[in-house]
Amino acid sequence: MVKVKDLKWKQDMRVSELVDSYEHIGFQSVELQRASEVIVKMKKDSAKVFLTFTSNMVTSGLRGFFAQLIELGIADVIVTTVGGLEEDIMKATGENFQIGSFQTDDVELHEKGINRVGNLFINNESYMNFESLIERILKQLYEKQKHWAVSEMLREIGLLLDDENSILYQAAKNNVPIFCPAITDGAFGFHLYLFQQEHPDFMVDVVKDFGNILFASSFDDRKGVIALGGSISKHHAILSTLLNGGAEYAVYMTTAHRTSGSMSGANTNEAKSWGKVKDESDVATVIGDVSITFPLAMIHALDELAEDGILEGLKKNIEDSGVAK
């Protein structure tokens, strides 16, 4: 049994020192420290890591952090929702989002042409610029070929971007597939529909991509899942691991609770009942705002991986694969 110890501040305290102290505080701090250790274990064990997140996290300042993790070789497979990919493209072309307030009058915002995501604001103009851009991109894709699996299309779009902080750019550059099972669930999907009306032979194949994610890992691979938030992205990742023997490692971070019976609130122990993670797996479930919990756990894990020389090995693997430019 680990004893409770009082937290003490010291000047210039590192994030890793703070997270180390969480082991002795109690409640969710213990689970957050455990989540960091599970991430370290999955990387040291060379597990194939599925990183999933929902679009609101790309709206926030986590977007560049996700891109950095792809560049560092932390994630082998990305599963996400379409809003985040739209906003990744917007930010890659210079769009800026603003931090507002949860209490701002929404009717007033609507009259000003401002959309609210929690306490973050996005102007209608940003979406209008995105629509003009995506129309040009779809024409380029159509000229190249008519039939695309979703992940193949997203890789091609990533190659068209020029932004080191872009998730799509880093994924394409480092040969990390991005899966978006609900590609039509946003402005992107609306424009896919409009484009197909004018070009009936243009097809984006969701079913083919479902096969691609199922074959993203094999029964023999060791598998790890880092699921940030819930939704379809989390479910597709763990469904893939289920059909390939279950994950050896799983970290869930969410504000949802298991009492809802939803996928978003299902914890890592519930996943064991389905065989999505193995009975003897290393797991942690952190209940809390991912914009706070994930950077703490991940930076602690990166520090430990760097100190053990694991990060250099991951970057060398990317270079040796001949994919990195």
Dist CA 43 CA 53 (whole Å): 19
Q: Does 35 fall in a domain?
A: yes
| Count of domains observed in the chain | 1
Q: Does 114 fall in a domain?
A: no
User: Model pTM?
Assistant: 0.95
| pLDDT at residue 325 in the model | 44
Residue given tokens 């906003």 in the structure block:
87
Q: Does 99 fall in a domain?
A: no
The CATH number linked to 215 is 3.40.910.10
276 assigned to active site: yes
Short-list 78, 79, 96, CA closest to 87: 96
4 pLDDT more than 90: yes
Helix ranges (DSSP H) in the chain: 15-22, 28-44, 55-59, 63-71, 82-92, 106-111, 124-144, 150-160, 167-173, 187-198, 206-214, 231-243, 268-274, 290-307, 310-320
Q: Which domain holds residue 49?
A: 15-94+123-319
Tokens linked to 230: 């819930």
Q: Does 64 fall in a domain?
A: yes
Tokens linked to 216: 């993203």
Q: Does 105 fall in a domain?
A: no
Q: Does 9 fall in a domain?
A: no
Q: Express each pLDDT in 67-113 by its tens digit.
A: 999 999 999 999 999 999 999 999 999 999 999 999 999 999 999 99
Tokens linked to 243: 């059909």
Tokens linked to 250: 């799983």
Catalytic residue, candidates 276, 278, 316, 325: 276
Enumerate the β-bridge partners of residue 254. Answer: 287
Short-list 242, 226, 238, CA closest to 286: 226
Q: Express each pLDDT in 256-293 by its tens digit.
A: 988 888 888 888 888 888 888 888 899 999 999 999 99
Residue 55's pLDDT band, with cuts at 50, 70 and 90, is very high
Dist CA 42 CA 247 (whole Å): 10
Q: Does 115 fall in a domain?
A: no
Q: Does 130 fall in a domain?
A: yes
